[in-house]
């Protein structure tokens, strides 16, 4: 049944749907899992993926469906809602369907954007657990990541306080001689805490640490989250963690978690994160939750592990990429699929009338403030102009050899005439297009959408990567900037250029993936520039080295790895009933 999404809050719909949510034991029977493949955690469960994959290794994979979007407003365009709605629509068509979504960060949940549970009748349940820590993966990542920083800063203090002979005799350690100006990692916390972007640590006496500049990033942007997204098993996870470059020595050598003798302990903290958590939509379609968000500063993909399980258990498996096609889909296309060896059958391009109006020159959309009435009243001119952004994203997906399905994620304020403009532009660009009212009506509102996806999955595609692995880093960035973003070229700041040259000349980085760091609010590095800007160049100011994940991350513009909390954050409206323990106010 569909709930009254117009008049009910998301948490109220979740509460109502949870009354009939299957138990772990019921899921075991429904999914055909063995008893030892389910790891119950309260009313949720993790899945022992190695046992499932081993048992089903000879079973053919299902259809692989990726969900991305046009350039969003600061409020997002409903990729999670669309993913859930598609699962619900496919479920009503009688097919065996499931999916994999990312775990939300506490930063947006407690800030303006809210949780990533979807919305209306197309959301994941139980919403409270999903939004507030789930089964502890992000907490485990925080502990493991910060342990590496503890190990490094303690080592720096001891090396300062003792000579080589004392260091060996008292601690059994050799001198690493870490350069405090070349520390790659920082600390992490899972909130948007702008006050922690730039800090000084180690103030006090000689036993109070090593005095140096430091920084915090948001937890889901940690290299450990990236490793979780691409790891194949616990042994691979452990090896990748030990290979993380924490800093460089004063003679330019990388200092890894293995050098600090902390990688194995970090892996111990993360031992449980390797298994996905099983949840479901409000219409009880199974969905795995694994890895995290923020494709602008991180990989931002559902994990390879969750996708591999889903493709074995389901005939249609829906996976989500963060933000728009220029960021999330590009990383899915050229990084995740290259790592996994999996080939998608179709990509869904989520589009909203709201975002298209913004790209057409509509009033500024500011998170936390009421939207201008232009976004709730018919305006065909704004929609038509804004379709250029959607057409550009269709072109990006087509460069991968995929013919996308454009989903008009329709709000109840959108008009038939506005949707007709979008459909005409999408079909003229060579894409299928379907309206979907999954937010308002759940699966019943997504049947046209589900049919379009089924039809697209039955077509052959010519999926291929944008660039070969032997292409140099700076040439890759130039290719991505021109072919995906529409830039005229790339401008490297001197330090970034020198770092890129060093990385290109070192053979150990030759097969590293290129993981762009860029604003999600524009095709450019400047979040203010909407639509499809012309006549611009992409500035690169740094290249982050994720040697465990095997990523090189060129940073465009001034994007920060630690978002800030707004003046009207969501935590002001979140509460808990002391009698029942029920949480209210989540959205």
Q: How far is CA 507 from the centre of its chain?
A: 29
Could you tell me if residue 261 is left (phi over 0), alpha (psi between -120 and 50 degrees) or otherwise beta?
Answer: left
Q: Per the residue annotation, which of 5, 49, 68, 113 is the catalytic one? A: 113
Q: Per the residue annotation, which of 46, 63, 102, 550 is the catalytic one? A: 102
277 forms bridges with which residues in the sheet? Answer: 46, 289
Cis omega before residue 511 (within 30°)? no
Q: How far is CA 263 from the centre of its chain?
A: 24
End-to-end CA distance of the chain: 21
Q: Per the residue annotation, which of 295, 456, 513, 549 is the catalytic one? A: 295
E strand segments, 202-313: 212-214, 216-218, 245-249, 254-256, 277-281, 286-289
Is 411 considered catalytic here?
yes
DSSP 479-545: HHIIIII--S-EEE-HHHHHHHHHHHT-GGGTT-EE--B--SSSSSS-TT--SS--S--EEEEEEEE
Is 572 considered catalytic here?
no
Is 529 considered catalytic here?
no
Is 352 considered catalytic here?
no
Q: Per the residue annotation, which of 210, 248, 269, 439 is the catalytic one? A: 439
Could you tell me if residue 573 is left (phi over 0), alpha (psi between -120 and 50 degrees) or otherwise beta?
Answer: alpha
Is 323 considered catalytic here?
yes
- Residues 271 and 265: their CA atoms lie apart, in Å, by 10
- Residues 63 and 307: their CA atoms lie apart, in Å, by 11
In 3D space, the residue among 114, 151, 301 whose CA is nearest the CA of residue 225 turns out to be 301
Q: Per the residue annotation, which of 79, 240, 312, 336 is the catalytic one? A: 79
Is 81 considered catalytic here?
yes
Q: Per the residue annotation, which of 55, 253, 258, 411 is the catalytic one? A: 411
Q: Per the residue annotation, which of 323, 332, 333, 449 is the catalytic one? A: 323
User: Hey, how many other C-beta atoms are within 10 angstroms of the C-beta on 123?
Assistant: 28
Is 357 considered catalytic here?
no
- Residues 317 and 308: their CA atoms lie apart, in Å, by 9
Q: Per the residue annotation, which of 73, 81, 245, 256 is the catalytic one? A: 81
Please identify every residue annotated as catalytic. 79, 81, 102, 113, 295, 323, 411, 439
């Amino acid at each position: 049944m569909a709930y009254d999404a117009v008049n009910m809050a998301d948490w109220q719909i979740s509460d109502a749907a949870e009354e009939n949510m299957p138990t772990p034991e019921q899921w075991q029977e429904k999914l055909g899992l063995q008893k030892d493949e389910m790891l119950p955690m309260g009313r949720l469960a993790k899945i022992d993926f190695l046992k499932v994959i081993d048992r089903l290794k000879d079973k053919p994979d299902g259809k692989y469906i990726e969900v991305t979007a046009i350039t969003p407003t600061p409020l997002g365009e409903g990729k999670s809602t669309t993913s859930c709605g598609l699962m619900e629509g496919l479920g009503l068509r009688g097919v065996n369907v499931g999916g994999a979504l990312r775990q939300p960060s506490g930063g947006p949940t407690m800030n303006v954007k809210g949780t990533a549970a979807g919305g209306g009748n197309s959301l994941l349940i139980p919403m409270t657990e999903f939004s507030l820590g789930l089964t502890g993966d992000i907490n485990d990542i925080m502990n493991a990541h910060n342990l590496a920083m503890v190990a490094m800063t303690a080592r720096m203090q001891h090396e300062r306080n003792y000579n080589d002979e004392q260091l060996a005799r008292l601690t059994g350690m050799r001198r690493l001689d870490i350069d405090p100006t070349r520390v790659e990692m920082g600390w992490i916390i899972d909130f948007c805490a702008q006050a922690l972007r730039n800090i000084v640590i180690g103030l006090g006496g000689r036993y109070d640490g090593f005095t140096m500049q430091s920084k915090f990033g948001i937890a889901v942007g940690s290299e450990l989250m990236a490793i979780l997204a691409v790891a194949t098993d616990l042994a691979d996870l452990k090896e990748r963690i030990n290979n993380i470059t924490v800093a460089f020595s004063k003679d330019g050598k990388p200092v890894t978690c293995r050098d600090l003798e902390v990688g194995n302990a970090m892996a111990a903290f993360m031992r449980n994160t390797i298994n996905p958590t099983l949840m479901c939509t409000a219409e009880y379609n199974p969905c795995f939750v694994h890895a995290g968000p923020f494709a602008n500063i991180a990989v931002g993909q559902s994990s390879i592990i969750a996708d591999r399980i889903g493709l074995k258990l389901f005939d249609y498996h829906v996976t989500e990429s963060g933000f728009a096609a220029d960021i999330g889909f590009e990383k899915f296309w050229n990084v995740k699929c290259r790592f996994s060896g999996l080939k998608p059958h179709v990509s869904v391009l989520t589009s909203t009338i709201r975002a298209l109006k913004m790209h057409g020159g509509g009033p500024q959309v500011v998170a936390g403030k009421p939207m201008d009435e232009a976004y709730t009243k018919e305006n065909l001119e704004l929609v038509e102009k804004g379709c250029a952004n959607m057409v550009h994203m269709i072109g990006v997906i087509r460069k991968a050899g995929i013919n996308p399905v454009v989903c008009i994620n329709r709000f109840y304020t959108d008009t038939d005439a506005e949707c007709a403009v979008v459909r005409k532009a999408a079909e003229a660009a060579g894409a299928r297009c379907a309206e979907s009212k999954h937010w308002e009506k759940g699966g019943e509102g997504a049947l046209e959408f589900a049919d379009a996806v089924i039809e697209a999955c039955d077509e052959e595609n010519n999926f291929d990567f944008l660039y070969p692995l032997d292409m140099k880093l700076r040439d890759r960035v130039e290719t991505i900037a021109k072919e995906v973003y529409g830039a005229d070229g790339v401008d490297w700041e001197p330090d970034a250029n020198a770092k890129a040259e060093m990385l290109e000349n070192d053979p150990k980085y030759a097969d590293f993936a290129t993981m762009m760091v860029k604003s999600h609010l524009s095709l450019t590095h400047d979040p203010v520039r909407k639509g499809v800007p012309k006549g611009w160049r992409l500035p690169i100011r740094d290249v982050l080295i994720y040697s465990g994940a095997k990523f090189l991350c060129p940073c465009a513009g001034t994007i920060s790895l630690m978002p800030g909390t707004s003046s009207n954050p969501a935590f002001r409206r979140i509460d808990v009933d002391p009698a029942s323990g029920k949480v209210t106010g989540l959205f």
